[in-house]
């Protein structure tokens, strides 16, 4: 019995080890290529272990007025500001929808949910942002369209509903104003759920290539993901304005591409081990619907 159990356990673990390798190996190959000499990649292709270790790719993409550093700055700004405003607006919105004394909460909640059912589609959205709000080619267009998401408002509203009425009532008796109660009492009680929602929003902003692809033409406002997408087919985006420099020399194109990608995933992969439990918890939050 014991033997059979451990044997099946062995197979279960084997399956997961193989699958985990599938999840992780592509990232390792990426890392390896970024640290390989261009010549060696050219001759023997990509490999899991750098055959001819070299830092050329990183030197190449980080030197001078590199578009990558700029794109990093833009992406970090968009992620931080976007996540912060998303949390502030959504949590206030959700809290007002969670309060039973607010008479129109159900009508407004329906307006929020209806956004999940029907959308005007891409073209009217594009025209709104570019022609009506005139946000095209500004950094705001990367932030503004995603400040509220229906799903997150519903998640937060459902969480706020679970806060015992007696706590809020007692604050009211102590003379606390409604907004003060929200700020000093409700928010601290909700930090776990706010942190989880915030993490997913931050990952969304970090990973967003689509908005920049559609609404950014000014290369100074490229985000990391959009820069990454652009250089896949045209490495010239990486060179900034240094057309004259070392035109003849062998440029580490292939490895520079991979190095850019390493820099783009770096923050997510490095922080993931510390944050993974919030992500795992957060998914089950989302599974609870209106």
Partner 1 sequence: METITIKPKTKKVRRRVPFFSEIIKNKTFYAMMLPGLLFIIVIYYLPMMGVVIAFQQYNPFKGILGSPWVGFKNFEFLFKSDALFQITFNTIFYNVIFLILGIGLALVFAILIDSNGNRFLSGAYKSILLLPYLLSWVVAEYLLFSFLSVDRGILNQMLHFFGIEPISWYSEPIYWRFILPAAYVWKNVGYFAVIFAAGISGISTEYYEAAKMDGANKFQQAIKITIPMLMPITIILILLQVGKIFYAAFGDWGMFYNLPKDSGILFSATNVIDTYVYRSLKVMGDFGMSSAVGLYQSVVGFVLVLISNFFIRRYDKDSALF
The contact mask relative to partner 1 for 29-68 (x = CB under 8 A, - = no) is xx--x-------xx--xxx---------------------
The contact mask relative to partner 1 for 133-152 (x = CB under 8 A, - = no) is x----------xx-xx-x--
Judged by CB under 8 A, the residue of 8, 51, 170, 218 near partner 1 is 8
Judged by CB under 8 A, the residue of 76, 84, 108, 235 near partner 1 is 108
Task: Write down the least CB distance from residue 270 to partner 1, Å.
Answer: 12
Crossing angle for the helix pair 150-161 and 253-286, to the nearest 10 degrees: 40
Kindly indicate which of the ranges 54-62, 75-83, 86-94, 162-170 contains the residues binding partner 1, using the contact rule CB under 8 A: 86-94
Cα 67 to chain centroid distance, Å, stands at 20
Q: Using CA atoms of 87, 115, 164, 103 in order, give the dihedral in degrees to the nearest 10.
A: 120
Judged by CB under 8 A, the residue of 54, 75, 83, 90 near partner 1 is 90
Size of the site for partner 1 (CB under 8 A): 98
User: Is the Cβ–Cβ distance between 189 and 127 less than 8 Å?
Assistant: no
User: Is the Cβ–Cβ distance between 215 and 145 less than 8 Å?
Assistant: no
Count CB-CB contacts under 10 A for residue 254: 17
Kindly indicate which of the ranges 53-61, 72-80, 113-121, 190-198 contains the residues binding partner 1, using the contact rule CB under 8 A: 113-121
User: Is the Cβ–Cβ distance between 188 and 139 less than 8 Å?
Assistant: no
Q: Under the criterion CB under 8 A, does residue 236 sit at the interface with partner 1? A: no
Q: Under the criterion CB under 8 A, does residue 81 sit at the interface with partner 1? A: no
3-state secondary structure of 36: strand
Q: Under the criterion CB under 8 A, does residue 118 sit at the interface with partner 1? A: yes
Q: Under the criterion CB under 8 A, does residue 276 sit at the interface with partner 1? A: yes
Q: Under the criterion CB under 8 A, does residue 10 sit at the interface with partner 1? A: no
Judged by CB under 8 A, the residue of 55, 203, 235, 240 near partner 1 is 203
Residue 5 CB burial class (10 angstroms; 0-12, 13-18, ≥19): exposed
Place of tokens 């009425």: 165
Judged by CB under 8 A, the residue of 49, 52, 104, 167 near partner 1 is 104
Residue 60 CB burial class (10 angstroms; 0-12, 13-18, ≥19): buried
Q: Which two tokens stand for residue 16?
A: 């997961």
Q: Under the criterion CB under 8 A, does residue 7 sit at the interface with partner 1? A: no
Judged by CB under 8 A, the residue of 18, 65, 120, 247 near partner 1 is 120
């Amino acid at each position: 019995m014991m033997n059979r159990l451990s044997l099946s356990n062995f197979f279960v673990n084997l399956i997961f080890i193989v699958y985990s390798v599938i999840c992780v190996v592509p990232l390792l190959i990426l890392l390896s290529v970024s640290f390989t000499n261009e010549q060696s990649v050219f001759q023997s292709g990509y490999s899991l272990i750098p055959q001819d270790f070299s830092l050329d790719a990183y030197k190449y993409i980080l030197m001078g007025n590199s578009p990558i550093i700029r794109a990093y700055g833009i992406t970090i700004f968009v992620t931080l500001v976007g996540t912060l405003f998303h949390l502030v607006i959504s949590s206030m919105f959700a809290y007002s929808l969670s309060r039973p004394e607010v008479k129109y909460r159900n009508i407004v909640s329906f307006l929020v949910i209806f956004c999940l059912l029907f959308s005007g589609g891409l073209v009217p959205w594009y025209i709104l942002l570019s022609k009506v709000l005139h946000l095209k080619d500004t950094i705001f267009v990367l932030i503004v369209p995603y400040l509220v998401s229906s799903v997150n408002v519903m998640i937060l509203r459902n969480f706020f509903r679970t806060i015992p009425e007696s706590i809020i009532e007692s604050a009211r008796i102590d003379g606390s104003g409604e907004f003060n109660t929200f700020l000093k009492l409700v928010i601290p009680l909700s930090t776990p759920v706010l942190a989880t929602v915030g993490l997913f929003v931050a990952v969304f902003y970090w990973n967003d290539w689509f908005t920049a692809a559609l609404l950014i033409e000014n290369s100074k406002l490229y985000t990391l993901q959009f820069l990454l997408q652009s250089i896949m087919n045209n490495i010239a985006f990486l060179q900034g304005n240094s057309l004259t420099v070392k035109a003849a020399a062998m440029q580490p194109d292939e490895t520079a591409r991979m190095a850019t990608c390493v820099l783009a995933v770096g923050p997510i992969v490095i922080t993931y081990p510390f944050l993974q439990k919030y992500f795992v918890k957060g998914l089950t939050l989302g599974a609870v619907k209106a």
